[in-house]
Amino acid sequence: MKLEVNELTRSFGKVMALDHVSFSIDSGCVYGFIGPNGAGKTTAMRIIATLDQPDSGDVICDGFSVLDYPERARRLIGYMPDTLPGSNDILVWEYLDFFIRCAGFRGAARRRQMAHIEEFTQLGLLRGKYLRDLSRGMKQRVSLARALVHNPRILILDEPTSGLDPRARLELRDLLRELAQNGVAILISSHILEELEGICNGVVVLERGRLLSAGPLQSLRRAEDGFIQLEVSVDGDLDGTGLYLQEHPVVVWVRHSASPGQLVLKLRGDSSTGTRLMAELIESGHRVIGFRRIDRNLEDLFMHLTAGAVQ
């Protein structure tokens, strides 16, 4: 199962919401969809969910184009919008039952599916409540349950954690991990990058409709423009070691770490450059008791990628 977005373009009047955006997500992968407000995330998600049509380009789900075969794609895709739309005069179980019916479940299979979804999303206690009486967090949970009613192989989640309390966020994270382990490809948009970092193994970064970067997190971090960061633990003269490193030609900058007796440095090169530098440091008499490579977090990566990338 693979979701492929090919050269997607969509404009609203003179505003280019998506400009030849391409990326792909494999089965079992969780990709974060990040970008500032108005970057085109929701537009792209709506196109993938067959709610909108692109001006050009295509989205392929398991070999089927969502433009040519939307009904087949809808069987594979579960879409959770940022807000649970309309339909307030209805009970939670009735709402879910409607979508289970739409997915084609009949008789006993329908009841089984309802029980399964309620158990999986822990909605049992809310089933008799009206949608209008639910808090935002509860509505998000119902919305997720709705997206899962037909056992989709691709899940598109637009800001799923907005309005959720910390406990619900952790539960959602576990739930998504479980789904990914079952082979579901997940594309999830959020502004809370720390949260995404805990779940995602890949990211797609958009800004003003243009794709800045897409791929597995690990490779994005590694491929990041020929620089690495190291954390060095020193026993003794921390300032002297700092000065030595500062004057080294491959080092860009050196800072004191928040932890005592540690320095953080950025150097030009890759891991082997770092190892050679540490060897030189030890040979020159500095008492290095340990060092490790620091991967950039998602926030750094995002800031780095979006800083003036699109003018």
Partner 1 sequence: MRIATLANWLDDCCNPILVKELRQFLHNRAMLTVMGGLLAVQLGGIYFSLTRELTESVSLGRLFFQGDMLIFASCSGVLSFLGALRFFRERRGRGQGQDLVFTTPLSPFRLAWGKFLSAVVMELQIYALCLPFMMISYYLRGIGLMEILLISSLIFIYALLLIALGLCLGATGFRMGILVLPGFIALYLFWTCLLLDGRFFGPIFGILFWIRGAVFALWSCGFLLTVLQSMLGCSAGNRIFVMRIYLLLSAFLVAPLFYELTERVSRLSFAGGMLSLPSWETYGLYATGAIVLIAAVEPLLPSRRILIAAPGNRLLRGIYLLFSSSSVNGLTLGWICGLICVLAPFASSEEYSSQLPYAVAGTAGYLMGYAGIAIFLRRKLQRRWPRISGFSVLLTVFLVLYAIPMVYLTLYEDYIYCSMVWTPPWASWFSPLALHYQNARPGCIGALSCALTGVILNWPLLYRGWRRNFRDS
Summarize as ranges the residues that interact with partner 1 (CB under 8 A): 42, 46, 49-51, 53, 65, 67-71, 74-75, 77, 79, 81-83, 85-87, 89-91, 94-95, 97-99, 101-104, 106-107, 110, 130, 146, 150
Return phi, psi of residue 226, to 5°. Answer: 70, 25
39: buried, middle or exposed (CB in 10 Å: 19+, 13-18, 0-12)? Answer: buried
Smallest separation, CB 143 to partner 1 (Å):
9
Q: Which SS3 state, helix, strand or coil, does residue 261 take?
A: coil
Cβ-based nearer residue to partner 1, 85 or 166 = 85
Helix (H, G, I), strand (E, B) or coil at 98: helix
Min separation Cβ 219 and partner 1, Å: 32
Rounded distance between C-alpha atoms, residue 307 and residue 223, angstroms: 17
Nearer to partner 1, 87 or 122 (CB): 87
Supply the minimum distance, in Å, between the C-beta of residue 27 and partner 1: 20
Nearer to partner 1 by C-beta: 81 or 209? 81
Quote the least distance from Cβ 89 to partner 1, whole Å.
Answer: 4
Residue 84 Cβ vs partner 1, minimum distance, rounded to whole Å:
8
Instruction: Considering the complex, state which of residue 159 and residue 217 has its C-beta at the smaller distance from partner 1.
Output: 159
CA distances 217 to 44, 184, 212, 290, Å, are 20, 18, 14, 26
The upper half-sphere exposure of residue 202, i.e. CA atoms within 13 Å in the direction of its Cβ, equals: 18
Which residue in 233, 274, 279, 271 sits closest to 250, CA to CA?
274
Query: Is 68 or 239 the residue whose CB approaches partner 1 more closely?
Result: 68
How large is the greatest C-alpha to C-alpha distance in the chain, in angstroms?
Answer: 78
Determine the Cα–Cα distance for residues 30 and 34; give it in Å rounded to an integer: 13
In terms of phi and psi (left: phi > 0; alpha: psi -120 to 50; beta: otherwise), the region of 269 is: left
67/264 with CB nearer partner 1: 67
Residues contacting residue 115 through CB under 8 Å, at least 6 positions apart = none
The answer to whether 65 and 143 are in contact (CB under 8 A) is: no
Closest distance of CB 153 from partner 1, Å: 13
Query: What dihedral do alpha carbons 176, 180, 186, 191 form, nearest 10°?
Result: 40
Instruction: Indicate the residue among 77 and 232 with the shorter CB distance to partner 1.
Output: 77
- Smallest separation, CB 115 to partner 1 (Å): 16
